[in-house]
Amino acid sequence: MSDDRELDLEYRPFSLDLADPLETADGTIDSRNGFLVRITDRGADDSPVGYGEATPLPGWTESHADCEAALARAAEEIEAGSAAAIEAVDEQVAARHAVGLALTDLTAQRESTPLYRYIGQGPMVGRVPVNATIGDGSTVETVREATDAVDRGFSCCKLKAGRRSVEEDIERIRRVREAVGPDVELRVDANEGWTYEEAATALEAAAEFDVSLLEQPLPAGALEGHADLRADDRGEGVDIALDEGLLEHGVDAICDAEAADALVLKPMALGGVDVARTVSAWVSELDIDPIVTTTIDAVVARTGAVHLAASIPDVSACGLATADLLANDLGKDPVLLEKGSAVVPQAKGLGVEGVWEE
């Protein structure tokens, strides 16, 4: 930015319905209400703008009201510079995500580099692998959604589970495996829905049906429980991923307990793409697999998450194919999905345009 003190921050609310409510063990997500953020660099010739998005999700981030209050503070404080604006939202993860992303978008544009190369200082990356997100519906719905996804080119499906009996979930998994054949990677996300015995039963079935990964089978607090599942012979070949558990315990405690093979990184819940990037570099060093996902965000945050994934060397399939879950969006999606991959935008910055227009 030409002069850090000539920045202007605006934000406006949005509300987007999901095309179909997403059922999870943790509740149903049927709309996403958040704030689009625009930071303008008044000091530069052409007054470039950077975009950010704060889309709070109860249970994962601050409340909508706290997010809005934080953005109001950032709009005041940015007069004193970008550091003051970040400081004003430091405790509100979704608001911090928005302010950080808008600033990084501006800086990467100024450096004439796509955002993922600016944050990762790594090579050019054309695409990142993604998973299809399949809601916790009936067996018939689950099989239909999974086969649809495979027909559209996905080679990894993540099934939500944990809302019904573990026997019913095992039946869902069995039927999906039968329908998609042996070559599709299957993952299961129980969103904390199981007891240890239920999870161990599911784990045994997961091994039988070649499920590669169980995400957050137990409540977030259960660090030892997840470590025990990892060590349980019944789950040979099935990785354990923590998502909610990362927000509760942090990386150090998870490593000390040896509680995870993989960690789910949600930039919206971690306080931004920059924070998630730091965590990803750190856990990769510790031989833990980082997986980037959205919280079913609008186009700005989703594209930020795609850039984050593109900055991670050899990233495994990420939960970034969530645009289709929304009935509408803030603007045109710069990320194409093709054969189970997200095509990474190569324009400078984030690469999102036209979202502020009425």
Ligand X SMILES: O=C(O)CCC(=O)c1ccccc1C(=O)O
Is 303 a binding residue for ligand X by CB under 6 A? The answer is no
Nearer to Mg ion, 23 or 243 (CB): 243
Strand 127-129 to 341-343 pairing: antiparallel
- Asked if 350 and 108 count as a contact pair (C-beta separation under 8 A), the reply is yes
Burial of 285 (0-12, 13-18, 19+ CB in 10 A): exposed
Interface pick for ligand X out of 92, 104, 131, 303 (rule CB under 6 A): 131
- How many Cβ atoms sit within 10 Å of the Cβ of residue 99? 31
Q: Indicate the Cα dihedral angle 254, 255, 258, 263, nearest 10°.
A: 60
| List 160, 332, 339, 348, catalytic entry | 160
Point out the residue whose Cβ comes nearest to ligand X.
Answer: 319
Gap between the Cα atoms of 197 and 209, Å rounded: 18
Q: How many residues bind ligand X, per CB under 6 A?
A: 13
Rounded to a whole number of angstroms, the minimum distance from the CB of residue 19 to ligand X is: 14
Cβ atoms < 10 Å from Cβ of 155: 18
Least distance to ligand X from the beta carbon of 5, Å? 37
**Nearer to Mg ion among residue 119 and residue 159 (C-beta):** 159
Find the radius of gyration of the CA atoms of the chain.
20
Determine if 296 is a binding residue for ligand X (CB under 6 A): yes
Among Mg ion, ligand X, none, partner that 131 touches (CB below 5 to 8 angstroms by kind): ligand X
Of the listed 266, 332, 339, 348, which one is catalytic?
266
105 marked as binding residue: no
Tell me whether residue 77 is annotated as binding. no
- Both tokens of 46, joined, read 């052409």
Closer CB to ligand X, residue 158 or residue 172?
158
Nearer of residues 38 and 307 to ligand X, judged by Cβ: 307
Considering only 64, 117, 158, 249, the residue that binds ligand X (CB under 6 A) is: 158
Scanning 41-49, 280-288, 292-300, 350-358 for contacts with ligand X by CB under 6 A, the matching segment is 292-300
Could you tell me the smallest distance in angstroms from the CB atom of residue 283 to Mg ion? Answer: 16
Minimum separation from the CB atom of position 177 to ligand X (A): 18
295 binds ligand X, rule: CB under 6 A: yes
- Computed from CA positions of residues 254, 256, 257, 260, in that sequence, does the dihedral angle turn out positive or negative? positive
CB neighbours of residue 35 within 10 Å: 23
Other CB atoms within a 10 A radius of the CB of residue 164 amount to 16
Q: Which residue is nearest to Mg ion (CB)?
A: 243
Q: Is 332 an active-site residue?
A: no
State how far the alpha carbon of 240 is from the alpha carbons of 24, 94, 218, 340, in Å.
18, 26, 10, 22
Q: Which position among 319, 334, 340, 345 is part of the footprint of ligand X (CB under 6 A)?
A: 319
Give the whole-angstrom CA distance, residue 277 versus residue 8.
26
Considering only 55, 92, 142, 293, the residue that binds ligand X (CB under 6 A) is: 293
Whether 160 is catalytic: yes
What order of strands is seen across the sheet that includes strand 7-24?
Answer: 7-24, 27-41, 49-54
Out of 189, 198, 239, 261, the residue judged to bind ligand X by CB under 6 A: 189
**Is 332 strand, coil or helix?**
coil
The answer to whether residue 294 forms part of the interface with ligand X (CB under 6 A) is yes
Residue 303: which of ligand X, Mg ion, none does it interact with, CB under 5 to 8 A by kind?
none
Burial of 139 (0-12, 13-18, 19+ CB in 10 A): middle
State yes or no: residue 32 binds ligand X (CB under 6 A): no
Report if residue 191 touches ligand X, rule: CB under 6 A.
yes
**Contact range with ligand X by CB under 6 A, out of 84-92, 113-121, 291-299, 326-334:** 291-299
Answer whether 188's CB lies under 8 Å from 214's CB. Answer: yes
136 is in an annotated binding site: no
Question: Exposed, middle or buried: residue 159 (CB in 10 Å: 0-12, 13-18, 19+)?
Answer: buried
CA angle 128-131-134, nearest 5°? Answer: 160
Which residues of the shown chain bind ligand X in the complex (CB under 6 A)?
A: 131, 133, 158, 189, 191, 243, 264, 293-296, 319, 322
Annotated binding residues for Mg(2+), written as ranges, equal 189, 215, 243
Positions marked active-site: 160, 266
